[in-house]
Amino acid sequence: MEEHVYSEFPNLPGRRRRCCGQGTQMALLGLVTVMLWAGLLTLLLFWHWDAVQNLKQLEETAAQNVSQVAKDLERHRGDEMAQKSQAAQVSQNMEEIQAEQKRMKAQDSELSRNLDGLRSDLSNLKSQSLNERRTALHSLERLQQEVVKLWIELHVSNGSTCNTCPENWVNFQRKCYYFGEGAKKWIQARFACSKLQGRLVSIHSQEEQDFLAKRANRKGTWIGLRDLDIEGEFIWMDENPLNYSNWRPGEPNNQGQGEDCVMMQGSGQWNDAFCGSRLDGWVCDRLATC
């Protein structure tokens, strides 16, 4: 019976050895697995620590950037406030300048009005002075002429002969006449006679007209008759009234741009003409001397 029992389990030690080998392998496998998980956990922990460090660094950098941005923003706000203050000051200065400009314009306008008034007063004074001087000169000339006439009459009554004229002048009835030549306007002819100590001729009789008509320029001659002051009121250079005339039919007519000076035509008849026209002839007269 014992032999039968032993015969049922002939290889029991071998089986034990196989069980131990498998346990060791499982233990080794478990250890390796644990080590792998430990390594993986270590890596995860290291990655987590590195991530935390990077996050902290990023937070510090962000905090620094936020602080710098806050400082820049505060500085910008300060600059903006300073600019607003400067703009307000500039605006105030502009308003003051504009107010000053308005005041200066008003003052300039007032000064201009005052200046215009002074100029007008000065012009009136000059005009009045010139008129008074012209009147005085005319009065003096007429007085001198009357004195000369009286002096001549006195000498004639005493038997003297008063027919002396300057060189190139022609005597007729106690007057001397100068027949000028050369294109001149009426005012130029007047000044030319003044330089010769005479004046543009004044005609007061038919005899004098006939004498002049024979010697006057055939193309036209200026004489001393004009209505420059009052239209239609003709005055001689010797200030005597128009007591004799020899107008051409239809004259004076003041045509065109204004005809205020009188010329003697080649026929001897008179015509009012534009004072700026140039005539080839002009006649001066003056009293003869004894």
pLDDT digits (tens, 9 = 90+) for 173-225: 889 999 999 999 999 999 999 999 999 999 999 999 999 999 999 899 999 99
C-alpha span between 237 and 201 (Å, rounded): 7
Confidence bin at 153 (pLDDT 50/70/90)? low
Q: How far is CA 290 from the centre of its chain?
A: 64
Which residue did the predictor score with more confidence, 240 or 188? 188
How confident is the model over 11-37, as a mean pLDDT?
Answer: 72
Same domain, 83 and 178: no
User: Contact at 8 Å (CB) between 212 and 203?
Assistant: yes
pTM above 0.95, yes or no: no
- Which range marks the domain in which residue 64 is found? 60-131
Q: Does the pLDDT value for residue 6 go beyond 70?
A: no
Is residue 142 assigned to a domain?
no
Same domain, 185 and 247: yes
Q: Which residues contact 271 (CB under 8 A, 6 or more apart)?
A: 247, 248, 251, 252, 262, 263, 265
Same domain, 188 and 108: no
Is residue 160 assigned to a domain?
no
Q: Which residues contact 286 (CB under 8 A, 6 or more apart)?
A: 169, 175, 176, 196, 197, 198, 199
Mean pLDDT computed over every residue of the chain? 83
| Rounded alpha-carbon distances, angstroms, from residue 16 to 3, 11, 20, 74, 224 | 22, 9, 6, 85, 173
Same domain, 123 and 175: no
Same domain, 125 and 180: no
Number of structural domains found in the chain = 2
- Select from 141, 220, 211, 232 the least CA-distant residue to 185: 220
Is residue 165 assigned to a domain?
no
User: Contact at 8 Å (CB) between 222 and 265?
Assistant: no
Residue 187 is predicted with a pLDDT of: 96
> Please, which residues bridge with residue 285 across strands?
177, 199
CATH number at residue 183: 3.10.100.10
